[in-house]
Amino acid sequence: MMYTELNNLYKTIETDILGNRLRDALKSIERLSKEVSLSEYSDRYSNIFTTYENMLKYSFGSTPDPQRSKIYNNLQLSALELADDLRDKLGSDRHLFNFSKYYSENINFKNLTDSEIDSLFQKVLEYELIETTLDSIEVKKTHSVNKEQLIGKLFYTFLFTNQLKYGEKKLLELIISEKEIGWRIKSLLISSVTLSLIRHFDREKFYTLFEYCQHEETEIRQRAIIGMFLCSLMYQKRLVLYQDIIERLESVSDNSLLQERFLSVFVQYIRAIETEKITKKIQEEIVPEVMKIKSELEDKLKLDEILSKDSFDEKNPEWQNFFKDAPNVYQKLEQFSKMQIEGADVFIGAFAMLKHFKFFESMVNWFAPFGSNKAEIIEAFGKFNEDTNVLALAEGLEKSPVLCNSDKYSFCFNIQFLPVQQRKMVLDMFKMEIDSMAEMQDDEQKINSELKSKIVNAQYMQDLYRFFKLYPYRKVFIDVFTSKPDILESKVLNILFGYKKHIRDIAEFYFASDQYKMAYPLFEYLNKKEESFQLLEKIGFCLQNTGNYQAAIDIYKRAEIYNNKNLWLIKKLGYCYRKVGLLDEAIQQYLKVIKIEPDDYSSLAYLGQLYIDNNNFEQALTYYYKVEYNDKKNIKVCRPIGWCSFVLGKYDIAIKYFQKIINKNPNKSDYMNIGHCYWLTNQLSKALDSYRESVKVSNFDIGWFREAFRNDSKYFIEKEFEELEISLMIDYVLIG
């Protein structure tokens, strides 16, 4: 049995148990138990099957069993836990999980006495206490290697423990309660418990994470909360069967601060699952805009010539004027900065290719908080020249909220391979950025006491995202970032976030980040509870932006009852009417708009477009001329004026306006349009020149030229041109 087959069978078992098809689930479990061929598992299966068989017999007897629901619930839990163990046993026995290299590092807590557990704890404590007394780089490195080997063993022991028992829980409690042991080790072990729970379900792991959700140290607390949230999301259907865990989740509402912290984690998770979309946006919109301005600058300002001069400190006076003509790049970079500040994962695209270092071959390192005392960092920084303030850089990196821990390590490993001069320049720039961000962070933290929690949320969630998306053997773990959380349908999520305020907060977050499909049902739910004008507006906008224009109109009409003079609402109704083809209704809406705002050029132009759609070109011209009169610098309005004039047979006027466009910033259609005007006024030579320029500007897209010309042929046929004549003109242009 291969991994995929095993995983699919396990999912079927889980689905059957949760769907109350216990008989089918037991058949599949029996198949797995035969694959393992150990009496321990076959005996457990036999007990579950026999109990279920007896329960069925009693269920249809003369006296109903009052304990039936409880017995059935226990059978479901037992069957799920047996399936968990069988899946894990088969996977490890047949080396399906790629974990064999870590098994040898595990510590067997079953055979450890209390004194041996205490000895392990003392060893961890000793490593922490000695570390501050070391001076030599080589000694520090050796100490770090030995310490990390021990912590790694503990990490893998917790990770590959199916059920947390007394020994593991005792050691974890000793380490986390010890003040002299730093938060890095503690938070790493919390990550191990989280990953272990993702790998193999266990009540005790849930209890352990819940216990540390109110820890005084931010890094430990937030990792525990994130672990609780992710595992609650992952096991949301299964947890309904565990009343004890449900009760613990329900207790979150008793602590308003803890509730808010869970909500912040949820918001950060929503950002995380949008990472792919954000990366695509950066690669397709922001980076090309920046590269474009770089290319234009080099050409316009002859940067190669500037760089060949000695006076590098002198600014080029042309820069200021150039940037005024390129506002898009500022808009894109501002957008990038805003996403970064809000906690969006804007750097994964840059760092995804920097996870090939040997450091990332060890699973534990994907979860390690950044620290300059790591052996690999000591070695990497040891290669830097004396001009670099390594200590200041390391401390700055540790405090920096800009990069997640994983990317900080990638940065350090990559920077060591740069030429000395280039490395110094990058490090100096990075140090300045770090200092600036740290100062801003300190100021903000004085105002917002929860800022540190949110920074940890963002960094740790990004660390997790990188592991589940980039770790070479990630497929043996269920990807926790594939879920689209549904608060209204999930009992578990409803327990945590089902309060009116939280639902509104989450809906607004979805709405602000343009996730209209996710925002819509939440706004709809809230509106059913208590209808309001603002909720109706937002519901309508969600429907509009998901292409459901008729439903949006219906909602906007309901909103009109509250305020029929709201300009935004009138415009949206006009837009949606146009989208469903109700042009007269759309025109009526925009006539209302210009009555309220007679000088709004955008609305005047849109009204002109509506009249064009309605084939009323004379009326369209009226509004486009108003735009031109009030905004003489608006060259774009020449295009529709030219087109309306062409359709109405006012060719001289059309040529005048098309020529204005051609003199400024023409496209392929502009040359075709003016070519039509020249042909219809018997200026054949100019017509041919314009048509051929259209083909040239289209990058010789012959298919486009033929189709566009054919679409316009009705205007020639109206003037008694023959079909053949039009076909000949097209070929004549293309042959020439």
Q: Which of 96, 112, 141 is the last residue of a domain?
A: 96
The answer to whether residues 574 and 644 belong to one domain is: yes
Of 109 and 195, which is predicted with more confidence? 195
**So what's the pLDDT on residue 96?**
73
Mean pLDDT of 347-373: 90
Instruction: Note the pLDDT tens digit of each residue in 473-482.
Output: 888 889 999 9
Lowest mean per-residue pLDDT among 42-51, 79-88, 232-241, 403-412: 403-412
The set of residues, in sequence order, having a beta carbon less than 8 Å from that of 129 and lying 6+ positions away, is 180
Cβ-based burial of 365 (10 A; exposed 0-12, middle 13-18, buried ≥19):
buried
Identity at 13, one-letter amino acid code? I
Total domains in the chain come to 3
The answer to whether residues 428 and 531 belong to one domain is: no
Angle between helices 723-735 and 702-712 (to 10 degrees): 150
Question: Would you say residue 180 lies in a domain?
Answer: no
Of 70 and 284, which is predicted with more confidence? 70
Number of H helices, E strands in the chain: 40, 0
Among candidates 470, 488, 487, which has minimal Cα distance to 479?
Answer: 470
Q: What is the pTM of this model?
A: 0.83
Among candidates 29, 74, 84, which has minimal Cα distance to 198?
Answer: 84
Q: How far apart are CA 494 and CA 503, in angstroms?
A: 9
Say what percent of the chain tops pLDDT 90: 65
Give the 3-state secondary structure of residue 367: coil
Identity at 395, one-letter amino acid code? E
Question: Would you say residue 366 lies in a domain?
Answer: yes
The answer to whether residues 450 and 537 belong to one domain is: no
Helix (H) or strand (E) holding 461: helix 451-470
The answer to whether residues 504 and 470 belong to one domain is: no
The answer to whether residues 314 and 458 belong to one domain is: yes
Question: Would you say residue 215 lies in a domain?
Answer: no
Is residue 296's pLDDT more than 60?
no
The answer to whether residues 410 and 470 belong to one domain is: yes
Q: How big, in percent rounded to 5, are the helix, strand and coil portions of the chain?
A: 75, 0, 25
- CATH number, domain of 507, equals 1.25.40.10
Lowest mean per-residue pLDDT among 199-203, 269-273, 287-291, 348-352: 287-291
Mean pLDDT of 224-239: 97
Question: Would you say residue 485 lies in a domain?
Answer: no
Q: Which of 41, 71, 96 is the last residue of a domain?
A: 96
Mean pLDDT of 692-710: 94
Query: Are 587 and 611 a contacting pair, CB within 8 Å?
Result: yes
The answer to whether residues 624 and 575 belong to one domain is: yes
The answer to whether residues 415 and 306 belong to one domain is: yes
Question: Would you say residue 553 lies in a domain?
Answer: yes
Q: And the tokens for 356?
A: 């090939």
The answer to whether residues 504 and 430 belong to one domain is: no
Question: Would you say residue 551 lies in a domain?
Answer: yes
The answer to whether residues 466 and 561 belong to one domain is: no
**So what's the pLDDT on residue 323?**
38
The set of residues, in sequence order, having a beta carbon less than 8 Å from that of 504 and lying 6+ positions away, is 522, 526
Q: How far apart are CA 14 and CA 10, in angstroms?
A: 6
Residue in the block written with tokens 């020449």: 638
Instruction: Note the pLDDT tens digit of each residue in 129-144.
Output: 998 787 777 888 888 8
Is residue 334's pLDDT more than 60?
no
Mean pLDDT of 671-688: 95
List the domain range (segments joined by +) for residue 364. Answer: 275-476
Residue in the block written with tokens 């000694």: 139
Q: How far apart are CA 455 and CA 367, in angstroms?
A: 16
Q: What are the C-alpha distances in Å from 722 to residues 448, 702, 709, 716? A: 75, 22, 14, 8
* pLDDT range class, residue 313, cuts 50, 70, 90: very low
Q: And the tokens for 530?
A: 């208590």
* pLDDT range class, residue 496, cuts 50, 70, 90: very high
Is residue 193's pLDDT more than 90?
yes
Residue 500, CA atoms < 13 Å, CB-side half-sphere? 5
Mean pLDDT of 677-688: 95
Question: Would you say residue 78 lies in a domain?
Answer: yes
SS in 3 state form for 562-581? CCCCCHHHHHHHHHHHHHCC
**So what's the pLDDT on residue 338?**
57
Mean pLDDT of 47-64: 86
What does 25-79 look like in DSSP terms, one character per residue? HHHHHHHHHHHHT-HHHHHHHHHHHHHHHHHHHHHTSSS--TTHHHHHHHHHHHH
Residue in the block written with tokens 């994983």: 406
The answer to whether residues 430 and 529 belong to one domain is: no
Q: How far apart are CA 26 and CA 21, in angstroms?
A: 9
Q: How far apart are CA 714 and CA 730, in angstroms?
A: 15
Mean pLDDT of 563-575: 94
Query: Are 262 and 229 a contacting pair, CB within 8 Å?
Result: yes
What does the DSSP 8-state code read for residue 285?
Answer: I
Q: Which of 647, 667, 687 is the last residue of a domain?
A: 667
**So what's the pLDDT on residue 630?**
84
Instruction: Note the pLDDT tens digit of each residue in 640-669.
Output: 999 999 999 999 999 999 999 999 889 999
* pLDDT range class, residue 623, cuts 50, 70, 90: very high
Q: How far apart are CA 467 and CA 361, in angstroms?
A: 11
Question: Would you say residue 139 lies in a domain?
Answer: no
For 139-169, b/e burial (b = at least 16 CB within 10 A) is ebbebbeebbeebbbbbbbbbbbbebeebbb
Q: How far apart are CA 626 and CA 623, in angstroms?
A: 5
Lowest mean per-residue pLDDT among 78-87, 297-306, 363-372, 447-456: 297-306
The answer to whether residues 284 and 385 belong to one domain is: yes
What does 177-206 look like in DSSP terms, one character per residue? H-TTS-HHHHHHHHHHHHHHHHHS--HHHH
